[in-house]
Structure 1
Amino acid sequence: MKPLDRKTEIINCAAKLFKEKGYSAVTMRDIAQALDIKAASLYNHIKSKQEILVLIVIEIAEEFTKTINEIVLSKTTTIQKLEKVIQLHIDITIRNPEALACLNNDWMHLTDKELTYFIKMREDYEENFRNIIKSGIASNEIKNINPEVIIFSMLSTLRTLYLWYGKKKGFTESSLKNNMSEVLLNGIIM
């Protein structure tokens, strides 16, 4: 396995600290201490704590946005699209729960153009999700339930999966994907 470069180590360490303490409570000194280096050494790799936040949040948000755009354009059923959205959330949760926590809890600390960019991506993601649901209702693939209730129910569960997943043992990635899809979709499938 290839060793991580120092910048990636800093970002991963910061994401873990942000998840544990929250962005506002973490200092560059805390990050340096966790890495067992001098705070001044961090600045050889990273300009600021804000840069770290941007790197974490924007990268994950762009992955969500890119993937849901591909899902929307795919020539699959609504149910298959929703299964892919569920799998996307599970994949990111398993791969990087700390970054996902940062995305969900600390995005509001972004500034200026990064905050505007993030909010636009989030709105676009939710609109794509909404369009998948509405298309499924129109084609009678899913029940005619208020799309906003479906979106809220599914995204609330998926966005907070990182809080639960690490605490529960005995789940393989595939069993989690199968079970989560079944639980989230059974209530809306025709």
Structure 2
Amino acid sequence: MKTLTRKQEIVATASKLFKEKGYNAVSMRDIAQAMGIKAASLYNHISGKQEILSTLILEVAIEFTNGMQTVLAEESSPVQQIERIIEMHIDITVNYSEGLAALNNDWMHLENDELRSFIRMREDYEENFRQIIKRGIAAGEIQARQPEVILFSILSTLRTLYLWYQKRGKLDVNVLKQDMVAVFLHGIVNKL
């Protein structure tokens, strides 16, 4: 098992507290108390809550950005790319649950360059996804529906998956991927 640096321990502890209480409700003193150390000791490793938040959120945002770039680089159909994006979201949900909570709930507390960087990554990600959907519609692989509705439907579910997943216990990730891809791409109605 990999040993965490003190900064990684601080970020991991803070991320759990942010997920439970929200960024604004957590103080550096709360983080120190959860770690069993004095608050002043935290500042030997990190500048403050803002650094913790940006580390946490940007790590997850970079995972999404890199994942999207990998999907775009593959020579596959739009439907196959959407399948890979759904699977990537599930993997990130499983591996970065606390970070995903901060990304979804606390991103607006980022400041300056970190905020601009996050917004740019999110906008680029959504635009890439939108273009995949449009290519799928143009190729006749996806029904001619409003791309924004498709994008919203998929992303709104995937962005909140971490909430649902933690309440359901540990479902088999492969079954979850298979079923979510099937529901998103084939719907729930049996063909008559």
TM-score range relative to shorter protein: over 0.9
- In structure 2, the partner of 1:91 is 91
Identity value in percent: 59
d(CA) in 2 for partners of 1:174, 1:43: 41
Instruction: Determine whether 1:101 maps to 2:101.
Output: yes
Query: Secondary structure in 1 aligned to 2:57?
Result: helix
CA apart distance, 1:96 = 1.6
> Which 4+ residue blocks in structure 1 deviate beyond 3 angstroms?
none
Which digits, 9 at most, give the CA deviation of each residue in 1:116-164, with x for residues without a partner?
1110110000000000000000000110000000000000000000000
Give the conservation status (yes or no) of the 8 Å contact 1:130–1:151.
Answer: yes
Relative to structure 1, is the Cα distance of residues 138 and 171 closer, same or farther in structure 2, using a 3 angstrom cutoff?
A: same
d(CA) in 2 for partners of 1:12, 1:134: 38
Which digits, 9 at most, give the CA deviation of each residue in 1:61-115, with x for residues without a partner?
1111121122122100111101110111100110121100000000000011111
Where do 1:76-87 residues align within 5 Å? 76-87=76-87
Give the conservation status (yes or no) of the 8 Å contact 1:81–1:132.
Answer: yes
Which digits, 9 at most, give the CA deviation of each residue in 1:22-66, with x for residues without a partner?
101100000001111110111111111000001011111111112
Aligned-CA RMSD value: 1.2
Give the conservation status (yes or no) of the 8 Å contact 1:28–1:39.
Answer: yes
The residue type paired with residue 25 of structure 2 is A
CA apart distance, 1:7 = 1.0
Where do 1:131-146 residues align within 5 Å? 131-146=131-146
Q: Tell me how many residue pairs correspond in the alignment.
A: 188
Once structures 1 and 2 are overlaid, which stretch shifts more, 95-104 or 2-11?
2-11
The residue type paired with residue 79 of structure 2 is I
Query: Secondary structure in 2 aligned to 1:141?
Result: coil
d(CA) in 1 for partners of 2:33, 2:170: 34
- In structure 2, the partner of 1:124 is 124
Q: TM-score, normalised by structure 2?
A: 0.95
CA apart distance, 1:170 = 5.5
d(CA) in 2 for partners of 1:75, 1:91: 21
- In structure 1, the partner of 2:164 is 164
- In structure 1, the partner of 2:190 is none
d(CA) in 2 for partners of 1:125, 1:59: 15
Give the conservation status (yes or no) of the 8 Å contact 2:60–2:96.
Answer: no
d(CA) in 1 for partners of 2:37, 2:186: 51
Q: TM-score, normalised by structure 1?
A: 0.96
Instruction: Determine whether 1:49 maps to 2:49.
Output: yes
CA apart distance, 1:169 = 2.9
- In structure 1, the partner of 2:33 is 33
Give the conservation status (yes or no) of the 8 Å contact 1:13–1:34.
Answer: yes
